[in-house]
Amino acid sequence: MELVCPAGNLPSLKAAVDNGANAVYTGFRDDTNARHFAGLNFTPAKLTEAIRYARRNGVRVFVALNTYPQPGGFERWQKAVDRAADLGVDALIAADIGVLDYAAQRHPRLNLHLSVQASASNYEALKFYHQHFNVRRAVLPRVLSMSQIRHVIEQSPVEIEVFGFGSLCVMVEGRCILSSYATGRSPNTYGACSPASHVQWQETKHGLDTRLGGVLIQRHPKGENVGYPTLCKGTYRIGESICHAIEDPTSLNAMELLPELAAAGVKAIKIEGRQRSPVYVAQVTRVWRQALDAFARAPEHFHTRPDWNAALAKVSEGAQTTLGAYHRPWQ
């Protein structure tokens, strides 16, 4: 199985390449990708340098153009598709039908992957994208169980990539509108669920308050580590309790399911985290490379090592991990 790792900037790309990624995924420095944050992503010149570095080490480069353009700005997405094709990227990851259609018509030799943002969770949808746009791989949303993944792969005309590690989202991918209520900017079109322009930090006598669009979403005691602020993982007063009312901060870790994922026919394991640091990318890539290599050597004897889980826990949200929707023992 291919190991596909995040590269939000050049140092992260190099960290992924140097620690064993088979492929990296990136984005341009604008709203055409779903990680549109200040200081992240690539200019064409930087991406040229990144592709050169990856190719020297036998690593493939994918570019994500996985937000949904609005009519007034579609030209930006067209130019981004052209730019990616001209750079010779190994695959374009897209979600919007218009973007896929433009890429398929204008650049028929460009390898197209269906983004998780397309929220295609059944094989009928995958057949549609394959038939109309010649999509060759699809990233499944993190809402399917292992039995459902097996069922999709049995009927799918395209390769399947699944998430193995990283942040979870309470929303169905590609359908998130929660933060737009507070900021007026949808992550599906703008590319960021907490735009920096709408994040406020306020020091108080108790610690640090975080607001998004004026909404208080987190109150941090002094000395507490402060993470990336999102509405879904904030804490709120419910009656007399203050709790994570929508979603607990935790990360997906499907490493123990590697034998089942391989048996199901999964072609690639994706690591989430283009907004995370090069240290995160290096550590997660290194651990998953070791795990995949151990599984390849002796699949019948594979088991997760305590030091792997400990290393991953250190970079997990809330310092805890879950199997998420993959594990539904009642099915």
CATH classification of the domain holding 288: 3.20.20.70
Rounded to whole angstroms, the Cα distance separating 245 from 238 reads: 8
Evaluate whether residue 173 is within a structural domain.
no
**Do 237 and 285 have their domain in common?**
no
Mean pLDDT of successive 10-residue stretches along the chain, which has 331 residues: 97 98 96 83 94 98 94 93 97 97 98 95 97 98 93 98 88 75 82 83 88 88 79 86 83 94 98 93 98 96 95 83 80 66
The alpha carbon of 304 is separated from its chain's Cα centroid by a whole number of angstroms, namely 23
**Do 227 and 95 have their domain in common?**
no
Q: What is the pTM of this model?
A: 0.92
Evaluate whether residue 298 is within a structural domain.
yes
Rounded to whole angstroms, the Cα distance separating 31 from 38 reads: 11
Rounded to whole angstroms, the Cα distance separating 34 from 69 reads: 11
Domain end call among 209, 225, 243 = 243
**Do 202 and 227 have their domain in common?**
yes
CA angle 65, 69, 74 (to 5 degrees): 100
**Do 317 and 230 have their domain in common?**
no
**Do 10 and 82 have their domain in common?**
yes
**Do 157 and 266 have their domain in common?**
yes
**Do 214 and 187 have their domain in common?**
yes
Let me know: does 140 contact 121? Beta carbons within 8 Å. yes
Evaluate whether residue 289 is within a structural domain.
yes
Rounded to whole angstroms, the Cα distance separating 196 from 183 reads: 10
Question: pLDDT at position 52, please?
Answer: 97
Domain end call among 225, 243, 261 = 243
Nearest Cα to Cα of residue 59 among 114, 13, 115, 109: 13
Overall number of domains in the chain: 2
Q: In the numeric block, which tokens belong to residue 309?
A: 């889980």
**Do 144 and 185 have their domain in common?**
no
Residue range(s) defining the domain that contains residue 258: 2-168+250-326
**Do 136 and 87 have their domain in common?**
yes
Evaluate whether residue 331 is within a structural domain.
no
Evaluate whether residue 33 is within a structural domain.
yes
Question: pLDDT at position 193, please?
Answer: 80
**Do 97 and 210 have their domain in common?**
no
**Do 320 and 210 have their domain in common?**
no
182: left (phi over 0), alpha (psi -120 to 50) or beta: alpha
- Residue in the structure block whose two tokens are 């942040």: 167
**Do 230 and 146 have their domain in common?**
no
